[in-house]
Structure 1
Amino acid sequence: MKKFNFQLSLQIVLCSLFLFAFNACQPEDPMVQGEEIIQSDLKANQSDPSEKVNDFYGPTQPMGNGIVRSVVSINHDGEPVAVGVVFTEKALENLPDEELNLTLQLHSKAEGLIVDHVDFGYNPHGHEGPGFAVEHFDMHFYWISEEEKLSIPFAIGMDDLPDASIWPEGYGPDVVTVPQMGRHWLHESSFSSTFDQTFIYGSYDSEFIFYEPMITMEYLKAKNFEDSYGIIPLGAYAEPAYYANSYEINYDSVKKQYRVMLADLFWAGGS
């Protein structure tokens, strides 16, 4: 298998004075104005597709000329049906010519999820990997705390892989553990297809620790998405929590915003 390496560039987000000035000049939008509960028509994990769910947003962060934040969708039984990120179309404008990484916290309503927080990364020139040297976004949905993530050291070798019985079918590990990120696992199809969107697993210390949809700028702007993208499951899940069977990429032409959601959630783990 080819080797690939990922670079991490953490940047400090501008503080509240910028946010105030930015929001003051934007048109009214429930997400921008900080409203926490929005009705959604999310399809994931619903027997009745007309059933509404509530969206609970995490803190807003500026990106480009727009904003980005996390969102968790919860049904009327209090169960999470999806978790992801939502960002305005303007967030794709006026981006820097260097890597950008924003850590997004989840709303307090996000209980029972395997996801602890999300790192939303922008790579203007891409990075190593099969076809990955193009402008794209890395969205790491971490299963560990931010403190644990930041303590991950650089390493080369295969001494800390998860047990082979739980590897997702068709996936294989990179030889490098990226500091403050983890080891990336690619599906074998990544080496034989053109990269527009793909799904990566991450591990550290013999455990899987993140989901990662990776999407090119070109694919987002084209807005020609499939209804959903399947996630190949692990052979077993250690921690009792809600995990994802698929992910969705959507664009709302009225609100002019994108959503990238882990969906079709299911409960697994434990004895």
Structure 2
Amino acid sequence: MLRKKYFHVALQIIFCYCLLINLTSCAPDERASTDADLLKLDLKTANASGEKVNHYYGTTRPFGKGVVRSVVTLDSEDNPVAMGVIFSEKALLHPGTEDVNITLDLHPKARGMVVDHIDFGYHPHGHAGPGFMKEHFDFHFYWITEEEKLSIPFIIDNGPAADLPPAQYWPEGYVYDPVTVPQMGRHWITEEQAASEEFDETFIYGSYNSEFTFYEPMITMEYLTAGNFESSYPITSLEGYAIPGYYANSYEIKFDPVKKQYSIMLTNMTWKE
């Protein structure tokens, strides 16, 4: 039996409260219109074969002293190459002392992809979990609609969990949380992270109602600002996929010193049956 960790019990209380206070955090202001043209990836980006790719952006949202937005990168045949979140360096200045969750829409070009929308989360005091009481960011890439996400109730398993995805789909080396966080889902973390009290970056899966429902890179503020990133971070693939589509095999954390912006990107997208 896999060992389970109650690492989001406190988070379910915090998240419900923060969802209410942060509905206003997505309201546009002058920063969104002023910085939107600056918050872009290099248009000369090419894929591994050297083919030109195109970037398509979601609505720009204010955060801290800067802005944040989603981006989807497609090849010349509109196949997904990468997708993620970009935010200005100024976004890390004075982000506040309260938890924030901003739902980022995707460009219409992303319609039909596995990821439906992205939640950009900021936790200045961290939250419950093995090493997670640090200031950090959550990047939830949801495979379900926002309406479906918001309908998820709080569930805690007192016995064997009844709503897990089929065991043959589980990612190798991951354990699941017995708590289903409301308006989010059940979290799966690596066995290594579950046994640790340290954390700088990690990759989480989410599930609800017997299906996997999100990707989640989670990164500390300290790790972001230090800037000592690896070229790429591998993603342990699921052993099977309920919905055919393009899924990521890795993700990247980058900082552009010229444009003064960060990017958190799912990369190496490949078709999975």
Question: TM-score by structure 1 length?
Answer: 0.90
1:150: which partner in 2? Answer: 150
What secondary structure sits across from 1:101 in the alignment? strand
Aligned CA-pair RMSD: 1.9
Q: Which amino acid aligns with 1:81?
A: V
1:166: which partner in 2? Answer: 169
Preserved contact between residue 60 and residue 68 of structure 2 (Cα < 8 Å): yes
1:3: which partner in 2? Answer: 6
Q: Which amino acid aligns with 2:134?
A: V
Gap change, CA 1:218 and 1:240, over 3 Å in 2: same
Gap change, CA 1:230 and 1:193, over 3 Å in 2: farther
Gap regions ≥5 residues in structure 1: none
2:91: which partner in 1? Answer: 91
1:121: which partner in 2? Answer: 121
2:220 to 216, 222, 238: 216
Question: TM-score by structure 2 length?
Answer: 0.89
Q: Which moved more, 1:208-217 or 1:231-240?
A: 231-240
Gap change, CA 1:70 and 1:15, over 3 Å in 2: closer
Deviations 1:85-106 (A, max 9, x none): 0000000111111100000000
The answer to whether 1:183 aligns with 2:186 is yes
2:248 to 244, 247, 250: 244
The answer to whether 1:62 aligns with 2:65 is no
User: d(CA) in 2 for partners of 1:220 and 1:159?
Assistant: 37
Cα distance, 1:22 vs structure 2: 2.8
User: d(CA) in 2 for partners of 1:82 and 1:265?
Assistant: 6
Q: Which amino acid aligns with 1:13?
A: T
**How many equivalent pairs are there?**
258
Higher percent of residues as helix: 2
Gap change, CA 1:266 and 1:22, over 3 Å in 2: same
Preserved contact between residue 36 and residue 60 of structure 2 (Cα < 8 Å): no
Cα distance, 1:53 vs structure 2: 1.5
Q: Which amino acid aligns with 1:222?
A: A
1:195: which partner in 2? Answer: 199
Cα distance, 1:251 vs structure 2: 0.5
Cα distance, 1:193 vs structure 2: 6.7
Cα distance, 1:183 vs structure 2: 0.2
Q: Which amino acid aligns with 2:49?
A: S
Cα distance, 1:15 vs structure 2: 6.8
What secondary structure sits across from 2:110 in the alignment? coil
User: d(CA) in 1 for partners of 2:226 and 2:26?
Assistant: 32
Gap regions ≥5 residues in structure 2: none
Residue pairs, 1:74-113, within 5 angstroms: 74-113=74-113
Preserved contact between residue 38 and residue 259 of structure 2 (Cα < 8 Å): no
Q: What stretches of structure 1 move > 4 A for 4+ residues in a row? A: none
